[in-house]
Structure 1
């Protein structure tokens, strides 16, 4: 059986969806065929390139053409979307990370750039149709699986949950209390559903320059072209000197940032899984996060939760975590226990079951 996968978003140091693909195909990188655009390279994959560069055109036209040319029996599309048409007889495996783009309430229909608006419209047009036709659907959380079942008619056996995981080194040497420094870390983005503006406002209510016990806030994940806008917002809230927007950081540096932070703040309105909260828990960092979508599933009883649409509630939860050392130590202990549920050695079970079922068909 010849199996191919869309590898374009998993090249190099991947996060999010790309990292999920790498976990799914671990140990099979040279058996499977990765499909990409001309000029793209990754020595870990066995790649076949061709077609357009622009992703939507490549996905809808070049990907089916490569599938036909290579005589694939199965195509794995791990990034929510897939070609609307494939050659006859090709089975489609679709990985769905979230349905946020279908939820107007998650971002109020807003987007911060034309690229994000175009991407949301593309996913809205494509994803419902490919969910309907996919032979196998993988959801990254029970929340995402439930969201799919509520919106679409899914026959039994078509959908399974394989959660995100982290590489094993995330679970080694979590940050000790003595290592902690007086800053709050958030790993966010500029998209409206990440709710960063509310996070800045809540942080400002807990921390003002010169106040006893004042912390800094380090923000990773926001595109540099949006730093100035959020920095101006921080100045408006009176915390401009306390907030640092970090450039793109390598994974080793990100791991250090987690392990030295006093608290991790995650104000998102909607997540399909929420990899940053898992990274924080695996680092032994207390998590203060939203009480919505997949986050209670991933964090369990380890996190302190708040209503993400209430700045006051968010600020109260953050203040409690920052001012109670005993609470932070207990949250750290519970977080480490919760994170182990997503250790790669455990997630390997449902991954192996997926490959076993696929090969038996």
Structure 2
């Protein structure tokens, strides 16, 4: 049976928004999807959004007032990234089921791990291609990125990526047309203004890392750097990350000594929610992010937003994202990281300058602007009439009243 003109018009201006990658514990991709939902709810547009989310993310959505053009469809919590590999696999399968169900609609998949192999009317966000660059750390994902993702990208309408650096790599490895890949930088999360240190004298002697604990984050290099200068400073190294498993692997492989992690001045906090992490960033005297590779890099910008001086790698997208507001080091050189720490920690004027430059730098990364650019791309792909993207003055739609779809 054919599609009627009325149904075709409805389909034309409907986006299937796959946000199933928002978990109970937010990672970078979850932060991206969640903030797009928050800010799309404030924009006016002719476009209707059918948003698919898993039940594990319900707490993150309760405070969002969704307008009438956005409906949520709940699926099983088993699709959440909280379930690691099984969650990733189920999201990929479910995304492709959605593409078959909505084969006439425009589908927006908010990460490469949910790409639809069958959908040609598809916009996909590729945050990074780390598995292609670091095969030894991502043996399973390497083949997905090299073969499955490569074939599917030939069919999509557009690719969104958060940095020029990532775009250059996508063009290099996937040989797409340049105008098919759109750079849309992410934003920085809002922070609570309460209890913000009013001066450097209120900072504590904390060297902070926050983010995933994985090989490419180079935690081993940071620990080695701290070992080099710990007798010259009174600071504590705090690693705010979800798991110690990787650190245990580094010990077993001989890259780290167990005694270094048993050092009283090195602590691993485990997962921290936004409020606790922001408090820690406010208190820290310096934030260090010695990552080997980043497609964008949320944590350094969030540290800047909290008034913390930032030391980052001089690699990948980080110089592009952090601009002149960060102190740069070669990530594979613990001696250089140690020297940077010593220089920043002993130079009060430099830290004050870095804080002010950080405040200026984060103004370049706003979620309202990022979301508006996403919307402009959707409208271009659909031929929809643009609407001034001001906050929508619509009545609150309670989360519980949104009609859910059948569970996965």
| TM-score, structure 2 normalization | 0.76
Q: CA distance change for structure 1 residues 80 and 162 in 2, over 3 Å: closer, same or farther?
A: same
Alignment of 1:131-210 (within 5 A): 131-169=153-191, 175-176=197-198, 177-208=200-231
Q: CA distance change for structure 1 residues 47 and 206 in 2, over 3 Å: closer, same or farther?
A: same
Measured in 2, the distance between the counterparts of 1:71 and 1:48 equals 20
Q: CA distance change for structure 1 residues 227 and 350 in 2, over 3 Å: closer, same or farther?
A: same
Between 1:25-34 and 1:213-222, the stretch displaced more is 25-34
Alignment of 1:110-129 (within 5 A): 110-111=136-137, 117-129=139-151
C-alpha distance after superposition, 1:254-290 (max 9, x if no partner): 0001011000011101000111110111111111111
3-state SS in 2 of match to 1:289: strand
Q: CA distance change for structure 1 residues 333 and 51 in 2, over 3 Å: closer, same or farther?
A: closer
Q: Conserved in 2, the CA contact under 8 Å of 1:196 and 1:267? A: yes
Alignment of 1:23-102 (within 5 A): 23-28=35-40, 31-35=48-52, 42=58, 44=61, 46-49=72-75, 54-55=86-87, 57-70=89-102, 73-83=105-115, 85-86=117-118, 90-102=120-132
Between 1:289-298 and 1:53-62, the stretch displaced more is 53-62
* Alignment RMSD: 2.9
1:20 equivalenced with 2:46 (yes/no) = no
Q: Conserved in 2, the CA contact under 8 Å of 1:82 and 1:130? A: no
Q: Conserved in 1, the CA contact under 8 Å of 2:163 and 2:183? A: yes
3-state SS in 2 of match to 1:119: helix
Q: Conserved in 1, the CA contact under 8 Å of 2:92 and 2:114? A: yes
Between 1:269-278 and 1:229-238, the stretch displaced more is 229-238
C-alpha distance after superposition, 1:290-348 (max 9, x if no partner): 10111101111111111111111111111101111111111111111111111334434
Structure possessing the higher radius of gyration over alpha carbons: 2
C-alpha distance after superposition, 1:189-220 (max 9, x if no partner): 33211111011001111213xx4x31001101
1:10 equivalent among 2, 15, 22: 22
Which residue number in structure 2 is paired with residue 256 of structure 1?
279
Number of matched pairs: 347
Measured in 1, the distance between the counterparts of 2:229 and 2:26 equals 34
1:295 equivalenced with 2:292 (yes/no) = no
Q: CA distance change for structure 1 residues 280 and 27 in 2, over 3 Å: closer, same or farther?
A: closer
Measured in 2, the distance between the counterparts of 1:103 and 1:154 equals 18
Gaps of 5+ in 1: none
Between 1:164-173 and 1:281-290, the stretch displaced more is 164-173
1:267 equivalent among 282, 290, 293: 290
3-state SS in 1 of match to 2:177: coil
Q: Shift of the alpha carbon at 1:24?
A: 2.9
Q: Conserved in 1, the CA contact under 8 Å of 2:24 and 2:56? A: no
Gaps of 5+ in 2: 1-12, 42-46, 62-70, 80-85, 385-408
C-alpha distance after superposition, 1:92-149 (max 9, x if no partner): 1110101111113xxxx433xxxx5423443333222222222110011111111112
Q: CA distance change for structure 1 residues 229 and 92 in 2, over 3 Å: closer, same or farther?
A: same
Measured in 2, the distance between the counterparts of 1:61 and 1:315 equals 45
